[in-house]
Amino acid sequence: MSRESEELKQAGLKATRPRRRILQLLEHSEERHRTAEGIYRTLLAEGEEVGLATVYRVLAQFERAGLVKRHHFDGERAFFELDEHQHHDHMICLRCGRVEEFVNDEIERLQEEIARAHHFKLTDHRMELYGLCAACQKAVSED
């Protein structure tokens, strides 16, 4: 049994071909944050016969099963990433859409300190920083 099939089985999902292929894409893609449309286009380019509705349905199933997390970085499109159960935050380029992950222990410590000071029980948080990546800063300065 493939690793993807085993992961799906552990999540309580049948290991159908679309589920295995979508999980493989999410696990092996250099791009860690993918849209359903991007996944669909990649599958079509690889010769897979799958519909966009199937991709959306599988991603929703993966989210319910705890395999992926959904983000709305631009306020519109949903981006999906594997849920590796390790906290990280994101920087999003407003020009090209690049998403960069980061972890900063000092920021985490400050958030906990602020929550304690306000007698607030912190259960989760999300930090998203928006701006321009280095490549877009350079492109803008050259315009």
Q: What is the CATH number of the domain that holds 42?
A: 1.10.10.10
CB 81 within 8 A of CB 62: no
Classify residue 3 as exposed, middle or buried by CB count within 10 Å of its CB (0-12, 13-18, 19+).
exposed
Round to whole Å and give the CA distance between 102 and 73: 15
pLDDT tens digits along 84-102: 888 899 999 999 988 999 9
Q: What is the pLDDT of residues 28-87, one digit of tens each?
A: 988 899 999 999 999 999 999 999 999 999 999 999 999 999 999 877 789 999 998 888
Residues 70 and 98 in one domain: no
Residues 78 and 94 in one domain: no
Which of 35, 51, 82 lies at the terminal end of a domain, its last residue?
A: 82
Domain of residue 46 covers 3-82
Please tell me the pTM assigned to this model. 0.79
Whether 94 and 78 map to the same domain: the answer is: no
Q: Are residues 93 and 78 in the same domain?
A: no
